[in-house]
């Protein structure tokens, strides 16, 4: 009877425990960035409820906050944590520090918190800080070697996200190459990522492109709305939306650098619902249109005109409006949800429903009683 009971408990533990799968797992095509530069957003445990209710499984955060990592424990949500830019020089110069960081912020939370990746810095290259750019590859290698020592290199993927500032030109897509002052840092980084099977991660914002060039860009082209689009004479391809063109521009830059087979993944894209006077396109209607049409485009599970067989995957920016972000007003208004969990605009998600703790307790008691009855019957 005792051995049978233990077998049952082991089965229940195995059945309900999260299982980590192969490196780079991205369920479906839709993910979201969970930024927390705000003083009025819900607690991490409520955020988990919101994500599960919206059926968003792929989530990125910009650090490795333990409160968040603990809240995601046992949820089945796949999480990418961030190593902030301020840590890069230290991690690049000291392998022991990288090892300690991975132990404290990744290994200690696995496997119950499904940490699927580590983003090494954010938009480092093309930013003008040569020391930081020079530290990026060393930090990535040391963090990867730390994962390898813990036998986690096949579970946790190393990436870094780039802005479009790394490109010399991206119009038309076939003309895109990396900037001369970026190549010296980019090429060895790409060689390393190619060896370990990591994608090229791009933060792509048609919103910003349109905002900076409103007279030259058709807003319908930026919003996935019906338009003539653009024609690229070199590749003989036509683009009916700007995001696809931005992605194929990245593919062309990679091909020019010798990495034709590397996948491009979108780590940030979105549209602001409010902005300053010089950001007139930042409206709730345009934000709703962009995010609704983007969601439909991702649901088709198709590639781009240049890479039709590489299904596009994207993390949307962002989950919440973040009222403490510096910069222009648009920076604080990219959220799909308001701080109270209600939707900013309707793209098919529901507002956060109330979740009674007594209800949870009742379910837990029922489960315990059921298990006890089963044990007695054995």
pLDDT tens for 2-57 read 344 444 434 343 334 444 444 666 889 999 999 999 999 999 999 999 999 999 99
pLDDT at 352: 72
pLDDT at 363 over 60: no
Q: Which of 189, 130, 197, 135 is nearest to 162 (CA)?
A: 189
Tokens of 3: 């051995």
Amino acid 353: pLDDT: 61
- Name the nearest CA neighbour of 200 among 187, 184, 219: 187
247-284 residue pLDDT tens: 999 999 999 999 999 999 999 999 999 999 999 999 99
pLDDT of residue 374: 45
Check pLDDT > 90 for residue 214: yes
pLDDT in tens, 98-111: 999 999 999 999 99
Whole-model pTM: value is: 0.88
Q: How far is CA 353 from CA 50, 131, 345, 360, in A?
A: 8, 47, 16, 14
Alpha-carbon distances of 296 from 90, 117, 289, 319, 347, rounded to whole Å: 42, 26, 11, 18, 10
Q: What is the DSSP string of 284-346?
A: HHHHHHHHHHHHHHHHT----SS-TTS---EEES-SB--TT--SSGGGG---SB-TTS-BSS-
Q: Tell me if residue 164 falls in helix, strand or coil.
A: helix
Give me the count of residues in the chain. 378
pLDDT tens, position by position, 78-91: 999 999 999 999 99
Residue written as token pair 């309900």: 16
User: Which CATH fold topology does 28-335 show?
Assistant: TIM Barrel (3.20.20)
Q: Which residue carries 């300053």 as its tokens? A: 276
DSSP, res 175: G
Q: What are the boundaries of each domain within the chain?
A: 28-335
Q: What is the DSSP string of 67-125?
A: HHHHHTTTS--EEEEEE-GGGHHHHHH-HHHHHHHHHHHTGGGTTTSEEEEEEEEES-T
Instruction: Give Cα 52 distance to the centre of its chain.
Output: 16
Average pLDDT over residues 340-348: 93
pLDDT per position as a tens digit, 280-299: 999 999 999 999 999 999 99
- Active site positions, annotated: 123, 268
In whole angstroms, how far apart are CA 130 and each of 88, 179, 188? 12, 14, 15
248 φ/ψ sector (left φ>0, alpha ψ -120 to 50, else beta): alpha
229 vs 119: CA distance, rounded Å? 33
Which tens digit of pLDDT belongs to each residue from 135-146?
999 999 999 999
């Amino acid at each position: 009877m005792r051995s049978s009971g233990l077998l049952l408990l082991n089965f229940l533990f195995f059945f309900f425990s999260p299982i980590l799968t192969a490196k780079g797992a991205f369920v479906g095509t839709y993910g979201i960035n969970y930024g927390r530069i705000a003083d009025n957003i819900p607690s991490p445990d409520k955020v988990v409820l919101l994500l599960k209710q919206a059926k968003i499984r792929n989530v990125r955060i910009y650090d490795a906050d333990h409160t968040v990592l603990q809240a995601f424990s046992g949820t089945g949500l796949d999480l990418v944590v961030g190593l902030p830019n301020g840590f890069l020089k230290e991690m690049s110069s000291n392998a022991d520090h990288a090892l300690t960081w991975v132990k404290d912020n990744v290994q200690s939370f696995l496997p119950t918190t499904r940490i699927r990746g580590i983003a090494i810095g954010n938009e480092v290259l093309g930013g003008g800080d040569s020391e930081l750019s020079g530290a990026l590859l060393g930090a990535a290698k040391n963090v990867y070697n730390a994962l390898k020592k813990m036998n986690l290199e096949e579970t946790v993927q190393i990436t870094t996200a780039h802005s479009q500032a790394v490109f010399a030109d991206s119009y038309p897509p076939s003309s895109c190459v990396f900037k001369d002052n970026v190549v010296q840092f980019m090429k060895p980084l790409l060689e390393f990522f190619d060896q370990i099977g990591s994608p090229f991660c791009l933060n792509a914002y048609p919103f910003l492109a349109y905002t900076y060039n409103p007279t030259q860009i058709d807003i319908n082209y930026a919003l996935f709305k019906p338009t003539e689009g653009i024609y690229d004479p070199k590749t003989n391809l036509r683009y009916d939306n700007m995001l696809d063109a931005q992605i194929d521009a990245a593919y062309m830059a990679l091909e020019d650098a010798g990495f034709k087979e590397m996948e491009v993944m979108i780590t940030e894209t979105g549209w602001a619902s409010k902005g300053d006077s010089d950001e007139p396109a930042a409206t709730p209607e345009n934000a709703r249109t962009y995010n609704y049409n983007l969601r439909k485009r991702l649901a088709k599970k198709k590639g781009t005109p240049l890479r039709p067989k590489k299904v596009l995957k994207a993390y949307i920016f962002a989950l919440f409006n973040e009222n403490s972000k510096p910069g222009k007003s648009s920076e604080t208004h990219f959220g799909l949800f308001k701080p109270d969990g209600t939707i900013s605009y309707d793209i098919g998600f529901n507002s956060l429903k109330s979740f009674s703790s007594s209800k949870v307790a009742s379910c837990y008691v029922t489960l315990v009683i059921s298990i006890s009855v089963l044990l007695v019957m054995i």
